[in-house]
Structure 1
Amino acid sequence: MTAAVRAPGTPDAIDVLRAHADHPSAFLAVNSDTRHHHGRRSPGLVAYLPGRRHVVQFAAPFAPGEARGPLLDEYLATLGGRRRLTAVQLRAQDVGLYAERGFTVNQIGSSYGIDLERFTLRGKALAKVRQNVSRARREGVTVTEAPAGSLDEQALDRIDRDWLRAKGRHVKQLTFLVGERGGPGRPLRRTFLARHRGAIVAYITYSPVWGERSGWLYDLTRRSPQAPTGTVELVNLTALNRFAEEGAGWLHLGLTPFAGLADAHEPSCASASLTRALRLVARHGSAVYPARTQEAFKLKWDPHTIEPEYAAFQDRVRPGAVWRLLRATGAL
């Protein structure tokens, strides 16, 4: 599956995001398998994965504010009456756009962000980070940023395989809502590597973030089982300090599904049955997704913002739409 062919004169997807995106995870819209509908009458684009009956959209339309509704309407018209749309990773300001069009909208998790101007490693909140970073340094872990175009892809592939194997034979690598090492976004992505005893044992990729809280997105994380405790924290702290020195505004930690679900975040157009199901998974569904572990890692960085994110289902929540969403993200 490849990105949709652009009409002559259509702006590159990255140019559209740079101009109009105001979403911490917007860069995921240029993942290799994600297709784009470029507005014919309205500027901007819709990012999506196609399906025979259920189409999955990533985030809301990336367009100027006044064009977002018309662009969404234009895209919905292309689906006809036989395909239904599910949009995922909507922000709070997007809920009304979909509710007005009859979508059922539920909170699916929370995203986290660090204001680099206010970040400090001091204080009780960051005690665990300091402890783990010190332990990794004592074990001899070093961190460097990989120069552009010089990644040892074989070494990183090996870490990916080891990471998946350590997760268990039923675990699959998530897609669509997480980044990738290659693809169209490769030239803009940054990768920080951890080495121990001369070998690469972990890496984290960071993607650019545009909009009101511009900066970087903590994206793809992989760690060998042989990496000492604190390796990932050391990698992230090294990158965070580098970004702060460069004058970046924010480091975003991304979406954690099933985390931070709360009545206060549910819109009036939410499905009560889906709310109950999501909270059941949040409490007992570690086999589906390690939400508590992911949330705990992000909270120990003492984030300055925690925001709900949503999924919107056209008309109502259909089992086929939920199944397609799980398949699209690689959860099943």
Structure 2
Amino acid sequence: METMTALAVLRRHAQHSSAALALNRDTRHFTVSGLDGFIAYRPAGRRHAVQLGSVYADPEDRKRLLGAFHGWAQQEGRRLCAVQLTPDDLDLYTEFGYQLSQLGAAYSIDLEAFTLRGRRFEKVRNKLARSRRAGVTVVEAGRDVPYDAALAARLDALDARWLADKGRHVKQIEFLVGERAGHEDRVRRLFLAMYDGEPVAYVSYSPAFGQEGGWLYDITRREPDAPPGAVDLAFVVALQRFQAEGVRWLHLGLTPFRELSARHEPAGGGHRGTNRLIGFIAEHGDWIYPARSQAEFKEKWQPRVTPEYVGFYPSVSLRTVWRLLRLTRAV
């Protein structure tokens, strides 16, 4: 399915705050003739497939679409894993026999009520002021400055330096995050922190749809020697622009292995083995996924927290978990 066609389906049917991840280049779209909708997925090896997010279709068609996806997987001899399921998805996936567990939490900011005033944001305001005093300014690519080949090349070089600074064994997380591609057609939005005429950090946003539509905070990159607070300043300038545009929700996306709680377990409880594995990674697994640093940035904005889930069909296996980790490039 072409990107703009998939985007139109999401605008009609998506309620998931991270649905725009279905627009990533290598993500495939499973469709059924006569049904207005799709399932976003990627093959993982020869015997697995990983679905991302909800079934994006009219509520009356979701069961049929998911059933057809299962039929395809059976013909292909593939086991299924579904990630970033929402609480509203659980009944459907339970009906299909998935083994479900909480994967982590998604964070969202209600921009209608958000303000930086007050003592709780005093440290943030000081950080922003320090960045501005250092000479950092923020512009939006494609609106304040052109998004052209020259800028894209400069940001590619920034990405490479950012990744190199993480260490030679660190890989860029994929699949559960978006992409910088697409800003030239304004599907996504990109805010640049500029210093001495050069971009030293950027924050990317993807559209969010449905009843809590708005924007999804997606990708953050910074030069290793960028002035302190450059990312925070780009984030706040974007947030304030969204507020001025009348946007209600700024979603911060899923952080796996955070806010794990028995009160968030699916009806009947989560899968015991998967719960133990996710709990172990939450406590010891920063080398697998940078959940702690992600959460620290998101939590300082005092967001709303919503649990998200992972499901396995027909059962959990170590090979399926391994394929999921490989797909995200966590290992």
1:293 is aligned to 2:287? no
Please state how far the C-alpha of 1:294 moved relative to its aligned partner.
1.1
Q: TM-score, normalised on structure 1?
A: 0.93
User: Which SS does the other structure have where 1:191 is aligned?
Assistant: strand
- Give yes or no for the alignment of 1:15 onto 2:8: yes
CA contact (8 A) 1:31 1:184 kept: no
Moved more, 240-249 or 39-48: 39-48
Cα distance between partner residues in 1 of 2:240 and 2:183: 27
**Which of these residues, 103, 106, 114, is aligned with residue 109 of structure 2?**
114
- For 2:182 and 2:53, the matched residues in 1 are separated by 19
Which position in structure 2 is the counterpart of 1:102?
97
Q: Deviation of residue 42 (structure 1)?
A: 3.1
Kept after mapping to 1: 8 A contact 2:147/2:184: no
| Most deviating of 259-268 and 235-244 | 259-268
Q: 1:56 aligned to 41, 47, 50, which one? A: 50
Q: 1:204-243 to 2 correspondence within 5 Å?
A: 204-243=203-242
Q: Given residue 55 of structure 1, which amino acid in structure 2 is its aligned partner?
A: A
Structure 1 counterpart SS, 2:186: helix
* CA distance in 1: counterparts of 2:183 and 2:68, whole angstroms: 26
2:119 aligned partner, one-letter code? K
CA contact 1:202–1:224 (8 Å) conserved in 2: yes
Contact 1:36 1:47 in 2 (8 A): yes
TM-score (norm 2): 0.94
3-state DSSP class of the match of 2:61?
A: helix
Unaligned runs of 5+ in 1: none
State yes or no: 1:77 paired with 2:71: yes
In structure 2, C-alpha distance between the alignment counterparts of 1:184 and 1:224, rounded to whole Å: 20
How many equivalent residue pairs? 324
C-alpha RMSD of the superposition = 1.7
Tell me how far 1:199 sits from its aligned partner.
Answer: 1.5
* Structure 1 residues 55-204: aligned runs within 5 Å: 55-80=49-74, 82-147=77-142, 150-151=147-148, 152-182=151-181, 186-204=185-203
Q: Which runs of 5+ in 2 are unaligned?
A: none
Query: Residues 24, 318 of structure 1: CA spacing in aligned structure 2 closer, same or farther, 3 A cutoff?
Result: same
Aligned with residue 47 of structure 1, among 40, 45, 48: 40
Query: Could you tell me the percent identity over the aligned residues?
Result: 49
Q: Which moved more, 1:208-217 or 1:73-82?
A: 73-82
CA shift digits 1:83-110 (9 cap, x unpaired): 1111101111111111111110111110
> Match for 1:83: what amino acid?
R
Asked if 1:320 is matched to 2:319, the reply is: yes
Name the SS for the 1:66 alignment partner.
coil
What do residues 19-74 of structure 1 show as CA deviations (whole Å, max 9, x unaligned)?
Answer: 00001110010100001012224321011102410000011210111211111001
Residues 43 and 71 of structure 1 are in contact (CA less than 8 Å); yes or no, is this contact kept in structure 2?
Answer: no
Question: Are the aligned partners of 1:53 and 1:83 in contact in 2 as well (CA < 8 Å)?
Answer: yes
1:184 shift after superposition: 9.3
DSSP-derived class of the 2:310 partner: strand
Indicate if the aligned counterparts of 2:142 and 2:184 stay in contact, CA closer than 8 A: no
Q: How far is 1:269 from its partner?
A: 5.0
Given that 1:103 and 1:269 are in contact with CA atoms closer than 8 Å, whether structure 2 keeps it comes out as no
Q: Structure 1 counterpart of 2:254, which letter?
A: L
Q: Which is further off, 184-193 or 76-85?
A: 184-193
Contact 1:102 1:314 in 2 (8 A): yes
Aligned with 1:117: secondary structure?
coil
User: Equivalent residue of 2:60, what SS?
Assistant: helix
SS at match of 2:327: helix
Give the direction of change, closer, same or farther, for the CA distance of 1:124–1:184 in structure 2 (3 Å limit). Answer: closer
